[in-house]
Amino acid sequence: MKLSNFGQKFTAKTGIVELMDDLGTALNENPDMIFMGGGNPGRIPEAEATFKQRLETVLADPQQLHSLMGIYQSPQGDKVFRGQIASLLKKEFGWNLSERNIAISNGSQSAFFILYNMLAGKMPDGSHRAIHLPLAPEYIGYGDIGLEENFFAATKPEIELLDGNLFKYHVDFSKLDVNGQSTAALCVSRPTNPTGNVLTDDEIEHLDQIAKAADIPFIIDGAYGLPFPGILFNDAKPHWNDNTVLVLSLSKLGLPGVRTGIIVAREQIVQAYTNANTVVSLACGNLGPTIARELFSSGEILGLSRDLVGPFYQQRAEQAVNWFRAALGDLPYRIHKPEGAIFLWLWFDGLPITSQELYERLKARGVLVVPGHNFFPGMDSDWRHQQECIRVSYAQDGKTVEQGIQIIGQEVAAAYEQASQPA
């Protein structure tokens, strides 16, 4: 089979392809694997009961069932649902929104594919513009999404060492080089996937000012963040204005299977996205909006996030950190300060093997993690730190996570021990 340039790029084995292949195998085909890799959320029975009740109500009503299964929605998404989202955000945060500022996507990954390629790559005048990531490491799913080469640029972070074998990345504003000629947009995830880092309100405001000065959009990936699903363990404010593109998701509430993303942006961006989404997707799926409508119209989505989802993951994070401290002992490790999301980011200073080799050793032991080098799109690969980190999910049940952490500790210790042996 002869493939086009597009075909060769998007059929290749990449980090996100490997990650999702592992996820599908572990969750559907090999349940004995200890799955600590992808971003599948944990099971929260109270949240599942809410979704189940809503779905049962729809299934019992012939008209609602027909709307769910028998009608195309607009490529911008169901108008009633978009209006409910806009009304909630306007009421709670004072944002100047209407349904025209909201678009629905078939998952946020497809939204980023359109948004990024709509803004970056080869321009009509022959110039090239890149998406700039002010704080790497960043989400693995960005790395291969661009249709052009050199699609991303990234700034190396400052590293703050903290007590208790913790550390934290910060945006290094002294090194951040942004201009409107070569930069198409700034993009951050908040909380950051993979590290669980929450950019401070001051960092967000500073980045917003930089984007405005360069006349480029500021994109915030809020898949784990604010205002929902609210998986943050510290105080932070939601951020949106006319120059911000906020991308949200229903996945981490416990609905990854319904593939529903939400874009909040000025009307010009929403309309451009909608036109492109018509070509790519034709229409948006109905299931996610149908389940979530009442949660938005009542405001329950915010209470569910604040009172149930966030505390669930905070308890899991604290427990996983304690297990890692016990399993890793005196090894040269640090854990990124867990401030949100559903992962721990581990840094093994001077790790004598690559993160890919550690991943392969762990996979052979029946434990799936994600090697860290996949999370640095747009950055030169000569920074050794990229090969010393792994991302670990703590979303599965406690017994499984504890068992996986013990095996990780054993394999990391074995790697250092083997390297210390005389040749």
Residues above pLDDT 70, as percent of the chain: 95
Confidence (pLDDT) at 137: 96
CA nearest 406: which of 365, 364, 373, 358? 365
Reported as type and span, the H/E element at residue 214 is: helix 201-214
112: domain CATH number is 3.40.640.10
Confidence (pLDDT) at 17: 64
Do 272 and 395 share a domain, yes or no? no
- Predicted TM-score (pTM) above 0.85: yes
Is pLDDT of 154 > 80?
Answer: yes
Do 75 and 144 share a domain, yes or no? yes
Residues 18-47 pLDDT 10s: 656 665 665 555 667 898 987 889 999 999
Do 197 and 106 share a domain, yes or no? yes
Do 121 and 98 share a domain, yes or no? yes
Task: In whole angstroms, give the CA distance from residue 332 to residue 324.
Answer: 12
Enclosing domain of residue 317: 13-47+304-412
Confidence (pLDDT) at 419: 75
The pair of three-digit structure tokens given for residue 176, joined into one six-digit string = 């951040």
pLDDT band for 226, please (50, 70, 90 cuts).
very high
Do 339 and 244 share a domain, yes or no? no
Confidence (pLDDT) at 32: 78
Out of 5-14, 38-47, 54-63, 190-199, pick the least confident: 5-14
Q: What count of residues does the chain have?
A: 423
Do 282 and 332 share a domain, yes or no? no
What average pLDDT does range 233-257 have in this prediction? 96
> Is residue 1 one of the residues assigned to a domain?
no
Do 221 and 343 share a domain, yes or no? no
Confidence (pLDDT) at 28: 57
Strand pairing report for 333-336 and 343-348? antiparallel
Residues 280-318 pLDDT 10s: 888 888 999 999 999 999 999 999 999 999 999 999 999
